[in-house]
Every structure is written in C-alpha cells, then in structure tokens.
A and B are shown apart, each in its own frame.
Chain A
Amino acid sequence: MKRGELLGSLEHIILLALVRLDGNAHGMIVRREIEERTGRNLSIGAVYATLERLEAKGYVSSFTGDPTPERGGRAKRLFRVEAAGKRALQISNQTIRSMTAGLKGHWGTI
C-alpha cells in the first residue's frame, strides 16, 4: 500500500460522512453529520481544510452550487466522493479491521 493511500483520522471520518450523505454535500452538512454521529464539534474551517486536502489527492471532487438568499447570496461548494476516495476508504477500513482483529479481550487494558 502506498503512503499516499493512508488516510488521516479526520480524512477518514469526513470521507465516511460524505459516503453516508450519499451524494453531494457541502461543508456544514458534513460537519453536522459528524457532530450528530460522533459528538465531535469540528470547526467548519477544519472540515473545508480537510476537504481541500482530499480534493488535492483526487479522493473527492467539488463544484459550485447556486447562490441562495439564506446564505447571504453566497454559493454552496458541494463535494462528492470519487472512485479513488472509495478505494482509499476500503484500504483504510481494511487496515483498521486487520489491526483490531482479536483485540476484544484487550480493550479493558488499553
């Protein structure tokens, strides 16, 4: 496995949130999804910084939506997971599964 294919923890969580949202999602929706599921109160800046990193790696793509009045006339930036992103998620999940296999009895001592 190449070094570039390893996902950071925030990258992993954000990619999973994008997959869960099943389609095009903007930063605040991703932030809300993570907060509701994990209780982690991320800043919107951290979400966008990670999304930009994922986009640079080719794991997600983005496009600009239409401006709306409730956003003060500002357009949304919508993100979707690309095939490379799904592959990276699979590799990352597989790595975690492999490393956690057989550790059930050890959780109390870790």
Chain B
Amino acid sequence: MRRCSPPTFACWLLKSLLPDPYREAVLGDLIEEYRLRIESPSRFTASRWFWSQTCRSVPSMFWCSLRSRGCFISMSIAVGVYIFMGTLKFAADWIIWKLVAPDQATYVVLAPIVFLTTTAIGGCVAARIRRGTTTFLALIVMITVAILIDVKVCSIPVPWWYQFGFLTLGPLAVIITPTLLAHLKRPGAVT
C-alpha cells in the first residue's frame, strides 16, 4: 500500500496551501490519477507528474482563494501580525544590543535566530487567529526581505546564501511552524 502513496511532501504542501473548499477534491483527484499513472509508465514518472501538478496548482488555487470572500480579512490580519512581529523583532534586537552588545560576527549569528524565532511566533499567532492567514504573512515576509536585500540595508558584509536563507527560511518558518505544532499536539493523528 505504501508503494502506491504519492510524494508525502507534495501532499503536505497541497494540504497546507490549498484553500478549504477544494482541498479534499484536488488531493483526491491527484491521488486517484497518480495511482492510475503509477501502473503504466513508472513510479518516477508518476511522482514527477504529481510534483508538476502540485507546483502548478498551488498558485492557481491561491489566486482563486485571494479572489474569494474573506481574503481581505486574512490580508488585514496578516498585516497586523506582521506589525506585531516587527515590534517583537525590534524589541529582541534592542535587548541583545543593550545586554550582550555583540560584535559584528556574533550579530551575524544572532540575527537569523531572532528572525526565525519571530517569524515562527508570527506564523503561530496568524494561524491561531484565522486559518489561511499564514500564506499572506509568508508572502509579506518574503517581499519585505527581498526589498531589504535589494536596498542593502545590512551594512555588515555577508555571503549571498546568508541573505538567501532569510528570503526562503523566513516564509517557510511562518507556514511550517503552526502545522508542526498542530502535529506535535496530536501525535497519533493520521496525515
């Protein structure tokens, strides 16, 4: 039975990112088609097809959910949570500077920890207030980080992968942390 299962991470992505009304229908359709395809060409081809469908479906469905009712409420909540996150990060940075007074090298290490912690907290708060808000929040985080990288707000010289880490891990922390916490609370839950 396990051999017939579609890629787990792709399923998890779809479950996390697709809007509520069509989540089950889309997943069911993809699983049904995957099981048909796995028999004829190969498991690899079927998995590649499943991944391609996942990557192409998420933006369409996300745009669809944007247009549907309630997206502006989610967007407003996401902006509110983002301001809260910014305040939290500012406070954490201020405390670090006042108490530890780190040199540049230490700050380069501490900055991602503070950033990822605040984005994870923000993600949990957003998910707690309203389901689906985390996607908007992740987008806001990604756009803000991209702008900050572009305007070179960081005066400390850092390698490109360091900045790329902020760009990718920040939004991921927003989306993944609430889901992970929900799974940890329900260890026996079937995914």
Instruction: Decide whether A and B are members of one complex.
Output: yes
Could you say which residues of chain B place their CB within 8 Å of the CB of A68?
32
Q: Please report which residues of chain B, range 97-145, place their CB below 8 angstroms from some CB of chain A when the two chains form the complex.
A: none
Residue A28 lies at the interface, judged by CB distance under 8 Å to chain B: yes
Q: Please report which residues of chain B, range 2-48, place their CB below 8 angstroms from some CB of chain A when the two chains form the complex.
A: 18, 21-22, 24-33, 35
Q: When the two chains form their complex, are residues B56 and A45 in contact, meaning their CB atoms are under 8 A apart?
A: yes
Could you say which residues of chain A place their CB within 8 Å of the CB of B56?
43, 45-46
Could you say which residues of chain A place their CB within 8 Å of the CB of B30?
28, 44
Q: When the two chains form their complex, are residues A72 and B27 in contact, meaning their CB atoms are under 8 A apart?
A: yes
- In the assembled complex, the Cα of A36 lies from the Cα of B68 at a distance in Å of 30
Q: Which residue of A lies closest to B52 (CB)?
A: A43
Could you say which residues of chain B place their CB within 8 Å of the CB of A48?
22, 25-26, 57, 60-61, 64
Q: Which of A28, A31, A77 contacts B22 (CB 8 A)?
A: A77
Q: When the two chains form their complex, are residues A77 and B25 in contact, meaning their CB atoms are under 8 A apart?
A: yes
Chain A interface residue count, Cβ-Cβ cutoff 8 angstroms: 22
Q: A43-B60, A70-B32 are in contact. List 5 more A-B contacts (CB 8 A).
A: A27-B26, A28-B33, A48-B25, A71-B28, A76-B25
Q: When the two chains form their complex, are residues A52 and B31 in contact, meaning their CB atoms are under 8 A apart?
A: no
Q: Which of B21, B33, B59, B68 contacts A45 (CB 8 A)?
A: B59
Q: When the two chains form their complex, are residues B59 and A74 in contact, meaning their CB atoms are under 8 A apart?
A: no
Please give the residue numbers on chain B whose beta carbons come within 8 Å of chain A beta carbons, in ascending order: 18, 21-22, 24-33, 35, 52-53, 56-61, 63-64, 67-68
Q: Which of A32, A49, A72 contacts B28 (CB 8 A)?
A: A72
- In the assembled complex, the Cα of A26 lies from the Cα of B31 at a distance in Å of 13
**A74-B28 contact given A28-B33, A48-B22, A52-B21, CB 8 Å threshold:** yes
Q: When the two chains form their complex, are residues A75 and B61 in contact, meaning their CB atoms are under 8 A apart?
A: no
B52 vs chain A, min Cβ distance (A): 8
Q: Which residue of A lies closest to B5 (CB)?
A: A72
Q: When the two chains form their complex, are residues A75 and B28 in contact, meaning their CB atoms are under 8 A apart?
A: yes
Q: When the two chains form their complex, are residues A74 and B24 in contact, meaning their CB atoms are under 8 A apart?
A: yes
Q: When the two chains form their complex, are residues A28 and B59 in contact, meaning their CB atoms are under 8 A apart?
A: no
Q: What mask results when residues 51 to 83 of chain A are scored 1 for a CB within 8 Å of chain B, else 0?
A: 011000000000000011011101111000000
Interface centre among B25, B35, B57, B58 (most CB of A within 10 A): B25
Could you say which residues of chain B place their CB within 8 Å of the CB of A74?
24-25, 27-28, 31
B80 vs chain A, min Cβ distance (A): 27
